[in-house]
A and B are shown apart, each in its own frame.
Chain A
């Protein structure tokens, strides 16, 4: 019975998405079953649209910059959390977590008020700042389990054996945390690529892909929305799959190295 329930649950999650994918290949504009034929016309229409291509490119750019900044800030925060104790740690943890404990709407309007106050014009820069704020808590939360079980005595051992502070960092700390950092960075890109709720308030004239889809949604019922949606989905999935694969390979290589080491003894 639990299995039957599970199937229903997954069906509920995926049926609406599958439907959009199907209609994106529909030869007529109708959004009704049964379907009448297969075509790629909505995709070719979409790529002929300069605004779409520009917004897709903007989203990729923002995603990459967000991942870089969030990875630097998030890794520093994680390394700090390993070392912190007491009330300062609690305050810092709370501060790192709070941005996702609030509705996106709240962050969006707070940021736009700040930008207006300091006279920063709305652009892809402000969008990137907003995305860093939104993704940083996810980054730190992803690193958390790794931080909790991080054995600080490994660093001390390296120092006792004569490694410099930088060597310890490069040869001990980073290798332990790297797989998690890579995973969290990919998660950051995917989150930034999809972000809409905060972006609405802080974006200028340059649109991102979700903003482009939003403008289509509000205008008319244009069936190329389906195609745009599918491309947005496909890109997120591709990035996540690539990330998953790289982590899996890293793990496999580590296991293989370990086995070789043991056999050599």
Chain B
């Protein structure tokens, strides 16, 4: 056999080195991403797909029959009870998100521009980690028939029998959900506001902007992403919650989240529950679109006007 020539070597080296064409070449960092990617594909993407497929099946006496149909969706769209529950859930979400953001905004301002230490931020973080269930339970203790407020009002003689309306009402759900969401809403706002340097505010002041103008024309547009994030996070977690409505909401406080959870916990019509879950997600997306449009109309969204 003839000895390989130099050109052969170069050719074979080229062959080895040549990168694979597009769909086969692994992008940079792929090797590292492989494991987490596999986990997410298998335990996140796949389950969501299965859930979606399930929503087109039917359940008969607790057995899922894989027959494609849209009965579940038809049933839901015509069920007044579901829409009633959806409405309660969306209201819970919107009220909670609105108050969480509005109440946290001044605190975020204080923490970013005024506070000298991080003590308050740590305190808020701490309350974020005080168990979710414990806080729901605390509110039940406060608002309950034999709870702190009623006992106080009874003992002072302001009322002569316990007020039932405080507990087991959408109001009880919302105040508890606000209490739960506040720390999270605040943290998102703080991290967004950290990007707005103090110098920008001073510059606006020096150029003659009033206090409200600084807020409206500098802080709000620059923290826009944080505001949307904070609102949507609180909204999704509050509107999709089923624990607070179950423990505090009473009969009028039943939400779509609770209906869905019940399908998967007790009565066991999983396909119907899956379909409800996708309808619920669709309503969340609508709320997101409406919210962003409202911010745009209120002209707090950053837009062309700043460059024109």
Number of chain A interface residues as a range:
35 or more
A95 at the B interface (CB under 8 A): yes
B133 at the A interface (CB under 8 A): yes
CA distance A5 to B107 in the complex (A): 8
B114 at the A interface (CB under 8 A): yes
Contact across chains for A95 and B37 when beta carbons are under 8 A apart: yes
Q: In the complex, how many residue pairs between chain A and chain B have their CB atoms under 8 Å apart?
A: 220
B208 at the A interface (CB under 8 A): no
| Interface SS majority for chain B | helix
A201 CB, nearest partner CB in chain B, Å? 6
Contacts A12-B179, A13-B182, A33-B151 given; indicate if A114 touches B50 (C-beta within 8 A): yes
Contact across chains for B47 and A236 when beta carbons are under 8 A apart: no
B124 at the A interface (CB under 8 A): yes
B129 at the A interface (CB under 8 A): yes
Contact across chains for A6 and B36 when beta carbons are under 8 A apart: no
Question: Considering the complex, which residues of chain A in the window 203-232 have a beta carbon less than 8 Å from any beta carbon of chain B?
Answer: 210, 213-214, 217, 225, 229, 232
A64 at the B interface (CB under 8 A): no
B260 CB, nearest partner CB in chain A, Å? 6
Contacts A114-B50, A201-B264 given; indicate if A84 touches B29 (C-beta within 8 A): yes
Question: Considering the complex, which residues of chain A in the window 89-123 have a beta carbon less than 8 Å from any beta carbon of chain B?
Answer: 89, 92, 95-96, 98-99, 101-114, 117
The stretch from B9-17, B211-219, B241-249 touching chain A is B241-249
Question: Considering the complex, which residues of chain A in the window 1-57 have a beta carbon less than 8 Å from any beta carbon of chain B?
Answer: 2-3, 5-6, 9-10, 12-14, 16-17, 19-20, 23, 31-33
Contact across chains for B107 and A6 when beta carbons are under 8 A apart: yes
Set of chain A residues within 8 Å of B35, measured between Cβ atoms:
72-73, 76
Contact across chains for A237 and B126 when beta carbons are under 8 A apart: yes
The closest CB in chain B to the CB of A88 belongs to: B27
A183 CB, nearest partner CB in chain B, Å? 12
Contact across chains for B47 and A113 when beta carbons are under 8 A apart: yes
B38 CB, nearest partner CB in chain A, Å? 9
B165 at the A interface (CB under 8 A): no
Set of chain A residues within 8 Å of B30, measured between Cβ atoms:
80, 88
Number of chain B interface residues as a range:
35 or more
Set of chain A residues within 8 Å of B129, measured between Cβ atoms:
190, 194, 236-237, 240
* Contact among B29, B133, B182, B260 with A105 in the assembled complex (CB-CB below 8 Å): B260
CA distance A77 to B37 in the complex (A): 8
Set of chain B residues within 8 Å of A236, measured between Cβ atoms:
129-131
Contact across chains for B236 and A101 when beta carbons are under 8 A apart: yes
Q: Can you list, as one digit per residue, whether each of B23-37 has a CB less than 8 Å from chain A (1) or not (0)?
A: 000011111110111
Known contacts A31-B144, A85-B28, A200-B261, then 18 further A-B pairs from the complex at CB < 8 Å, ordered by chain A residue: A2-B114, A5-B107, A16-B139, A16-B179, A17-B127, A23-B141, A31-B148, A32-B151, A81-B29, A81-B33, A88-B29, A103-B239, A133-B44, A136-B36, A136-B39, A217-B133, A233-B134, A244-B122
Closest 4 CB pairs of A and B: A103-B240, A83-B29, A80-B33, A16-B138
